[in-house]
């Protein structure tokens, strides 16, 4: 890997685990195994590096969504798979969850600076709209559901769980980060959402 890519990966990790303010340029360089000055050489400064990390994180999710290919499935099957893979993506990409959250703490200021903001737009909304329409036509889903709201609900059911896993575990006195607990949450999420969409 080029030193640029090494830095990007290291920065991704550091920003995700410590937040923008908590992240250390020194730590990023060390993690990447390269000289600190290269950060400035390749990315200008800490903030711009953060922007690049955000971009690449969104690239990742977009790429995944593009590969999903739900259009050819029956509405209920497609929906179930969408819910499941959304949940799984969050489960496996806690970094992404943390990054998103931190960016929101900063009121999205870095995103705004990203020129090609359209790159970030999820293509999923269109897919979801299609599934909902087909499902409504077939009579398996309710009519008039707003795909944006459904998308937010699907994401939120998993996001909140993973984003707040430490405080929830503390409050409820159980470890929500175990495999069983996550599997259990997954079943509940799928179940709840599929029920909610029924006519």
Partner DNA sequence: AATGAATGAGTTTTCATTCAT
Partner DNA sequence: TATGAATGAAAACTCATTCAT
**Looking at 47, 69, 138, 191, which residue binds DNA (CB under 7 A)?**
47
Helix, strand, coil abundance in the chain, percent, nearest 5:
75, 0, 25
Q: Which residues of 67-101 are buried (b: 16+ CB within 10 A; e: fewer)?
A: ebebeebebbebbebbbeebbebbbebebbbbbbe
Q: Is 41 in the site for DNA (CB under 7 A)?
A: yes
Q: Is 168 exposed, middle or buried (0-12, 13-18, 19+ CB in 10 A)?
A: middle
Q: Quick one: tokens of 63?
A: 């790429």
Shortest separation between residue 34's beta carbon and DNA, angstroms: 4
Residue closer to DNA, measured from CB, 2 or 118 = 2
**Looking at 17, 19, 31, 40, which residue binds DNA (CB under 7 A)?**
40
Q: Is 23 in the site for DNA (CB under 7 A)?
A: yes
Q: Quick one: tokens of 28?
A: 């990023």
Other CB atoms within a 10 A radius of the CB of residue 24 amount to 14
Sequence-distant (≥ 6) Cβ neighbours of residue 36 within 8 angstroms: 25, 26, 29
Shortest separation between residue 90's beta carbon and its own copies, angstroms: 10
**Looking at 143, 148, 175, 178, which residue binds its own copies (CB under 8 A)?**
148
Q: Is 103 in the site for its own copies (CB under 8 A)?
A: yes
Residue closer to DNA, measured from CB, 36 or 74 = 36
Residue closer to its own copies, measured from CB, 8 or 162 = 162
**Looking at 45, 47, 143, 160, which residue binds its own copies (CB under 8 A)?**
160
Q: Is 42 in the site for DNA (CB under 7 A)?
A: yes
Q: Which residues bind DNA (CB under 7 A)?
A: 2-4, 23-26, 34-42, 45-47
């Amino acid at each position: 890997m080029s030193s640029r890519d090494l830095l990007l990966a290291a920065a991704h990790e550091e920003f995700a685990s410590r937040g923008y303010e908590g992240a250390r340029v020194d730590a990023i360089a060390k993690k990447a195994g390269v000289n600190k000055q290269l950060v400035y050489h390749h990315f200008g400064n800490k903030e711009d590096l953060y922007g690049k990390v955000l971009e690449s994180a969104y690239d990742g999710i977009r790429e995944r969504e593009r590969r999903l290919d739900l259009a050819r499935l029956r509405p209920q099957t497609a929906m179930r798979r969408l819910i499941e893979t959304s949940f799984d993506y969050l489960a496996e990409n806690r970094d992404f969850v943390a990054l998103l959250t931190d960016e929101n703490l900063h009121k999205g200021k870095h995103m705004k600076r990203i020129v090609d903001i359209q790159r970030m737009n999820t293509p999923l909304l269109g897919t979801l709209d299609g599934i909902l329409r087909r499902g409504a036509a077939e009579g398996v889903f309710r009519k008039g559901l707003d795909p944006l709201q459904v998308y937010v609900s699907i994401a939120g059911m998993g996001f909140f769980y993973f984003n707040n896993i430490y405080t929830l575990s503390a409050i409820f006195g159980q470890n929500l980060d175990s495999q069983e607990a996550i599997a259990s949450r997954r079943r509940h999420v799928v179940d709840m959402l599929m029920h909610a969409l029924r006519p």
